[in-house]
Structure 1
Amino acid sequence: MALVGLAMVLGGGGTVNPQTEMVLQVLTALILIPLVTSSSWQRGLGPVQVPAMLLAGLVLVVPILQLVPLPPSTWQALPGRAIETQSLALIQADKSWMPLTMSPARTFASLLATICPVLLMLQVSRLSLRGRNWLCSVIVGVAVLSLAVGVLQLSRTAGLEWSLYNQFSEGFLVGFQANRNAQADILLAAMLATGVLATARLGDGRNHGLTWTVLVLVIIGLLVGQFMTGSRTGITLSTIALAFILLMLWPMLRKRSTMLYGLAGSLGVLVVSGGLLMQLQSVQKVVARFSLVREARWDLWADTWYAIGQVWPFGSGIGTIVPMLEAAERLEVVDTTRPVRAHNDWLEWVLEAGLPGMIVLGAILLIIGYLIVRAIMSARKSDASASRRAQVLFAIGFLLIEALHAVVDYPMRSMSLAALTAVAVALLLEPAASQRSRQ
């Protein structure tokens, strides 16, 4: 719970704000020391499951191999290394052993950042069903707290911007993130986690009026916050989150027709309220972002694709997107801004990891696909609890949202979102058997 909460608060700075990520890495190590070394802290936890260990190895293998020193004859023969070879020759250092990555420091920093969510995935895979529900409560709690921070950001209370970072999406609700798109995904995760908690509460078959009321209010609050992030993709992906929440709750609805009427009424209220809110300048600014204008992402994709051709098939090294884009940027698109991401995680991975990375990514996706199928079959058994079914839907829904958002952004470059993704993958695995029977 502490690891998830800290990751959501301190892991949203990204490349341009590494200070909080360094603090998060140190705190992660300190928290894991008693969890790994003390038997009393491990009471109630199951063993680390084999699929989790396999995924952990696959995630870490690419940056580790890219840091292995290679003899001069090998690394100088790699594509895109001619200028580096000539530069080192000027100081008589061209005979040095060098790794595959073009920037060892950046790749090593990326490796350290990746270890945190990997360790979190391994530990969450050991939790019981009840322990995983507690993690969902942390996700909702931190997300709601980020909404409160966002209110301070938008109101500029006391003349302050209320952000942990010196570079962030000013004028939008970003909470503990430096990027409004990352905050949008945080709120989407919280919406799905709210569905899990509501399902656990409603699973006893009783009529919990207060639970339904709280559920609706929390979802509406998260939706409003989602809109104020100004993230177009995040707002669009909210429909997927709502669909998965409906799937969680559908088996427990006694009067489904009444529920559908209630949803229609709520939608009508949202439409009317939206029409009134359109008069606010802050709302108009968000709506204006949906205009059909040329996207800077298109130029970034073109430059990234060109850079891929320069280093194919071995890649440039994990974390090297900035120098690669700066070298590949066309003169006609150069301006005062600095390209820091490809705004397409899939494309950026191809650039940095090359063909070996694509093979590893394919293996990871196959394993996750297998886990999804197995989790669905397990959740559909007659003796499966409502909580287990909801957790599986949370995992599938959030992984789908991240995969789609990665087409136009870079959610996996945020330690906060990488940690939540690790939690989602771990939720696909069977809960610890020692406590599962009590649920």
Structure 2
Amino acid sequence: MTPSLNQKLQENSALILMVAYLTLVMLTGGSGRDDTQALLVLRPLTIVFLGFAIWPWLNGMGNRGRYFLISSVSLLVVTALYLIPLPGGVWVDLPMRDILADIDRSVFGEVSARPLALNPLSAWENLNALLVPITAVLLMLRLNERQRRQILPIVICFGLFSGLLGMMQSISSGQSSLYFYRITNNGSAVGLFANRNHQALLLCMLYPMLAGYVAIRQRSKSLNNRVLWFALLAGAPLIPLILVTGSRSGLVLAVVGLLLAFCIYWQSQKAARQAEGKKIPKWPVAAAAIMIAGLFAATLHMSRAEAFQRFFGSDGSENRLAFWKPIYEMANALFPVGSGPGGFPNAYSVFEPNGLLDPSYLNHAHNDWLEIFVTHGALAISLIIATIGFLSYVAYCNFYRVQSSSRLLSFVGIATVVIAILGSIGDYPMRTPIISTIIAISVVWSMYSSESSGNFRQQDPKFVD
């Protein structure tokens, strides 16, 4: 190995690790179930990557690095608190513990010590699941500004690959080997996922990513027609790919993704052209609008728009509004401590109305914000308010300063998180390792503009080129 090659490998070792870990997650992390066999590969290797991510931090870190580390540890601590055994006298006074307390008295004569979580095994699974996005965050923090930008086209390529795989699934049989998971939406275009809604969410995220990629290349003076045509040709087919997933939420999120992509590209063009004293060209936006409208109409004409049909059709088996009311009542009954991580299915079986009983069971609330309220109670409300408030502050600081490449990347990260937040209203996408990892990457993008420090206004010398 020549010295120059060895030096390049050392300089890019963090980037190589991040790409390798992202590849691992994309190939094994498409399901949110705890009994997926792919987790036997993903979780042990995640520990290995976590070790590589933490080791360099022993030599010091920047202010924002400490913030991320504290945030990551806090998530683990909050989940771990639900696994600490409490004395029976304390535990029995908590909401909805009376049924288990009566069982203990009947069998053992007294209430034994129990952890706060109603289902400790599922709480352990949730604790292990948190390591996947936390590892992604720590690996991203090892990258410099240039390398963080290089992750963007890699994520886009993985998303396009998942879309291509979904297209192949849509024209194959429902029992094709192209489906990676045993429990999945057979017959739908799920791509690398087990759930069509999660596939649609990833495809919707690609819109602001593509717009940000073009805008960043423009600011770095390396934009050419090939890059612009790549973004147009990659973005236009996303509409039919989202439609054939059969995801109704994907229709709404596609509109949100297109609007955010337009904002990113238009603001970038406006800032660049005003600096050069030129007018903003309107033909790329017009061409994209015409292509998207044409593909939308063609997809509907060919009757492959399953999402469009399901959106306007009636599907009593998925009437989520019907069971959100009893779930909300359950959350109030369990307030302020909640059922504990992973305890939703067990708790819901107690509160489920007779009119909603059927041979299937509800594994999640299909509204992750409501489910977090059920499982974590008052603590969840505090964390959600703090997180959304903090991200809103970052968005405010960066929205009017999208003229630099790093700030554009920050806006891409915020846009991706916004789409995930909206997608979680009707489903649970962030419980899948793929989506949680992309959100972790996006959060790092959103906070690490080159001209922002702990207060988002100065440069952090620890993480620059």
Q: Note the C-alpha offset of 1:322.
A: 1.1
Who is 1:361 aligned against? Answer: 384
Q: Note the C-alpha offset of 1:199.
A: 2.3
Who is 1:402 aligned against? Answer: 420
Compared CA separation, residues 99 and 273, structure 1 to 2 (3 A) = closer
Query: Which of residues 426, 438, 445 is equivalent to 1:427?
Result: 445
Compared CA separation, residues 389 and 310, structure 1 to 2 (3 A) = same
1:388 pairs with 2:406: yes
Q: Note the C-alpha offset of 1:357.
A: 2.5
Who is 1:282 aligned against? Answer: 304
Aligned residue type for 2:167: V
Give me the whole-angstrom Cα distance separating, in 2, the residues matched to 1:82 and 1:292.
43
Give me the whole-angstrom Cα distance separating, in 2, the residues matched to 1:407 and 1:36.
33
Compared CA separation, residues 114 and 273, structure 1 to 2 (3 A) = closer
Q: Note the C-alpha offset of 1:126.
A: 3.5
Who is 1:322 aligned against? Answer: 345
Secondary structure of 1:290's aligned partner: helix
Instruction: Assess if the C-alpha contact under 8 Å between 2:243 and 2:308 holds in 1.
Output: no
Q: Which runs of structure 2 are paired with 1:53-92 in the superposition (5 Å)?
A: 53-92=69-108
Deviates more, 1:124-133 or 1:151-160: 151-160
Who is 2:216 aligned against? Answer: 200
Give me the whole-angstrom Cα distance separating, in 2, the residues matched to 1:81 and 1:435.
48
Compared CA separation, residues 166 and 248, structure 1 to 2 (3 A) = same
Give me the whole-angstrom Cα distance separating, in 2, the residues matched to 1:52 and 1:404.
23
Q: Note the C-alpha offset of 1:267.
A: 2.8
Compared CA separation, residues 338 and 317, structure 1 to 2 (3 A) = same
1:223 pairs with 2:239: yes
Give me the whole-angstrom Cα distance separating, in 1, the residues matched to 2:346 and 2:250.
28
Instruction: Assess if the C-alpha contact under 8 Å between 1:168 and 1:179 holds in 2.
Output: yes
Who is 1:252 aligned against? Answer: 269
Deviates more, 1:329-338 or 1:192-201: 192-201
Compared CA separation, residues 16 and 55, structure 1 to 2 (3 A) = closer
Aligned residue type for 1:154: S
Deviation track 1:247-270 (CA, whole Å, cap 9, x = no partner) reads 3333337576642x4433443344
Compared CA separation, residues 256 and 172, structure 1 to 2 (3 A) = farther
1:166 pairs with 2:182: yes
Q: Which runs of structure 2 are paired with 1:2-401 in the superposition (5 Å)?
A: 2-15=20-33, 17-37=35-55, 49-92=65-108, 94-156=110-172, 160-205=176-221, 208-250=224-266, 251-252=268-269, 258-259=281-282, 261-283=283-305, 285-291=306-312, 293=314, 296-376=319-399, 379=401, 385=404, 387-401=405-419
Deviates more, 1:396-405 or 1:270-279: 270-279
Secondary structure of 1:278's aligned partner: helix
Give me the whole-angstrom Cα distance separating, in 1, the residues matched to 2:284 and 2:263.
16
Aligned residue type for 2:361: R
Give me the whole-angstrom Cα distance separating, in 1, the residues matched to 2:178 and 2:342.
28
Question: Please, what TM-score do these two structures have when normalized by structure 2?
Answer: 0.84
Deviation track 1:258-309 (CA, whole Å, cap 9, x = no partner) reads 42x44334433443443343332422x3321121646511122022112223
Gaps of 5+ in 2: 1-18, 451-459
Gaps of 5+ in 1: none
Secondary structure of 1:84's aligned partner: helix
The total of aligned residue pairs comes to: 428
Q: Note the C-alpha offset of 1:83.
A: 1.0
Give me the whole-angstrom Cα distance separating, in 1, the residues matched to 2:374 and 2:113.
23
Secondary structure of 2:425's aligned partner: coil
Give me the whole-angstrom Cα distance separating, in 2, the residues matched to 1:4 and 1:47.
25
Compared CA separation, residues 148 and 274, structure 1 to 2 (3 A) = closer
Deviation track 1:5-27 (CA, whole Å, cap 9, x = no partner) reads 32233222112653223421111
Compared CA separation, residues 435 and 320, structure 1 to 2 (3 A) = closer
Give me the whole-angstrom Cα distance separating, in 2, the residues matched to 1:278 and 1:126.
46
Q: Note the C-alpha offset of 1:149.
A: 1.7
Give me the whole-angstrom Cα distance separating, in 1, the residues matched to 2:56 and 2:77.
28
Question: Please, what TM-score do these two structures have when normalized by structure 1?
Answer: 0.88
Secondary structure of 1:172's aligned partner: coil
Aligned residue type for 2:264: M
Give me the whole-angstrom Cα distance separating, in 2, the residues matched to 1:90 and 1:304.
29
Deviates more, 1:59-68 or 1:269-278: 269-278
Q: Note the C-alpha offset of 1:376.
A: 4.6
Aligned residue type for 1:252: Q
Aligned residue type for 1:216: L
Higher RCO by CA contacts (8 Å cutoff, separation 6 or greater): 1
Compared CA separation, residues 144 and 93, structure 1 to 2 (3 A) = farther
Give me the whole-angstrom Cα distance separating, in 2, the residues matched to 1:317 and 1:36.
28
Give me the whole-angstrom Cα distance separating, in 2, the residues matched to 1:51 and 1:2.
25
Q: Report sequence identity in percent.
A: 24
Who is 2:11 aligned against? Answer: none
Secondary structure of 1:49's aligned partner: helix
Instruction: Assess if the C-alpha contact under 8 Å between 1:180 and 1:230 holds in 2.
Output: yes
Deviation track 1:374-408 (CA, whole Å, cap 9, x = no partner) reads 4557x45xxx73x2122111111111111112222
Compared CA separation, residues 120 and 47, structure 1 to 2 (3 A) = farther
Give me the whole-angstrom Cα distance separating, in 2, the residues matched to 1:205 and 1:120.
30
Instruction: Assess if the C-alpha contact under 8 Å between 2:193 and 2:199 holds in 1.
Output: yes
Deviates more, 1:184-193 or 1:210-219: 184-193
Compared CA separation, residues 226 and 18, structure 1 to 2 (3 A) = same
Compared CA separation, residues 199 and 435, structure 1 to 2 (3 A) = farther
